[in-house]
Structure 1
């Protein structure tokens, strides 16, 4: 396990030298973003899903009943995110809840809020909404398999943003986002990892498969 972590940190260092910012977080950063963006919806009143005042999530979050019971609120929030409201929602939740470090499923307060806001600003809005929709539909199954590294770079970074974004009028995005799955020798993708790669690439998000061999990083995708 220690060797694997060293490999992932090596790949993260490689991308940082290429002008990217990022975390080795696996699914942690997506769960944190989901908790921020759907904070109020997680705690909206639905009969019988809260039995104590100490729950960090509704009882049905890890079932297929979560999305249908809140379809109206979730779909409205997805439209907000697709229209660029994600950064505002993040800041509002942070300012309201950070001081008391409210316990919410998936939310890791250790992530810097400015990093999260910058990450959301670099995300294609429709892609971020698509990722959130998948998580709201099947939170339990989507808890694993997220690529090891989440990376982003702003349009002002030394590495330039893809010119296709400008051509496609995606001018509201302030940079670009990429996920990277790190594999050492003889390591293979699991079914859950393949599912997440399919979700991300289907939403137009770049995914790299990195093969780290003898202190060398080879990007295969």
Structure 2
């Protein structure tokens, strides 16, 4: 990520975390897109960002891995075709509307294989050692500190870092939670706790992977509850 994009990322995440704003694109209906456009615009304006940065900001908050990859590819094509230095906001909005509508017209084929075989390991699955090595290589060449240190205020930014690390390291989307577990500061009890919770989730559901959205919600709950308990203990009066 170039210097300008790095600063954009930092400014947006700080604003979102400080003001507890949910900027993620979750509802991909046309109405949902319009509401999301409005939220992106308001946050960008609050951060004094130029309109030329709106599309890049929006790309940071697309929850669907498939959609964000498609839109990043469309961005490259757009810049090559127009010779612009940035994606014009109205052009971006029109393009993502088309992408979502096209996806609705052509949904993925129904799974005809019994669910018991749906958890088979896909051919692009990475071993833990390969996954760890790719994360190490990415960290070595990146100027971003990737380890989560336990504060709920840092979670939003950390989720984006994990997604970026996986995307730029060729780590499959279905292994994001596994990668995230490796990017928790080892001295925290949270690191071991989330590994245990991952195993429990896989055993309970029979799934091959812990879904990224489920993981994000779970770790947010765990961290928030831990902070609540710690705050309660700190407010207790000392016994004389």
Q: What is the TM-score with the length of structure 1 in the denominator?
A: 0.29
More helix by share: 2
* Higher-Rg member (1/2): 2
More strand by share: 1
Work out which structure has the larger RCO, using CA pairs closer than 8 Å and 6 or more positions apart in sequence.
1
Q: What is the TM-score with the length of structure 2 in the denominator?
A: 0.28
